[in-house]
A and B are shown apart, each in its own frame.
Chain A
């Protein structure tokens, strides 16, 4: 069975500082990895994905994520946080075989203070 762990319920960072939201995964074979963001009272929005190729993936709103196969990690990063980045972030994984569906982590709340 595939699974995702987001070890932090909440991450606090000051505006202008770099941010990292952690994600580790478990899946049979090679993974497809995703990050989604949820703003208050909204549905989830796609940020970025890793399918294959470069381990550093760039996405929307200046976010990026690094795929680390040896550590089974896919941490979300941004060099300089904005107050508007405050939201709930979900990591998700699926396998490459057949009709494999996405499994989401529990989510990490990111709070960026002015």
Chain B
């Protein structure tokens, strides 16, 4: 089972460049999430989606945009990258949300460096 797949795994950008991270899941999960992981900060939620065509802001949404055009895909975009966006980005998905038992399945991560 592929689970949650993130591409690319590594990327180096210059300040001001744009890019898109792709997350794909093959588990028919309804809910998808983008987190960023920084040393000493843990994981912080950027945006999430509760279904195809929906998106919502998380804890740290500024500087990012997302789209969920297909149920299996969740895209994270950086329109104008900044050094503060250097981080490891994780996509996750879950089947259940409202019942409170939403165990997340994570991708392997995408390491982004902004110079």
Contacts and interface: CB of A to CB of B under 8 A. Distances in A.
B45 A32 contact: no
| Residue in B48, B98, B100, B108 with the greatest tally of chain A CB atoms within 10 Å | B100
Interface string A12-43: 00000000000000000000101010000111
Given A43-B109, A105-B42, A34 B90 contact: no
Chain B interface bracket (under 10, 10 to 19, 20 to 34, 35 or more):
20 to 34
Contact of A46 (B40, B44, B103): B103
A68 interface: no
B43 interface: yes
Chain A interface bracket (under 10, 10 to 19, 20 to 34, 35 or more):
20 to 34
A106 B40 contact: yes
A51 interface: yes
B50 interface: yes
Interface in B21-69: 33, 35, 40-45, 48, 50, 56, 58-59
B4 interface: yes
A27 B35 CA distance: 20
A98 B59 CA distance: 17
A90 interface: yes
B41 A43 contact: no
A102 B45 CA distance: 8
18 contacts: A32-B101, A36-B104, A43-B4, A44-B90, A46-B103, A46-B104, A46-B105, A94-B102, A98-B98, A99-B56, A101-B33, A101-B58, A103-B45, A104-B42, A104-B43, A106-B40, A106-B41, A107-B42
Interface of B: 4, 33, 35, 40-45, 48, 50, 56, 58-59, 90, 92, 97-98, 100-109
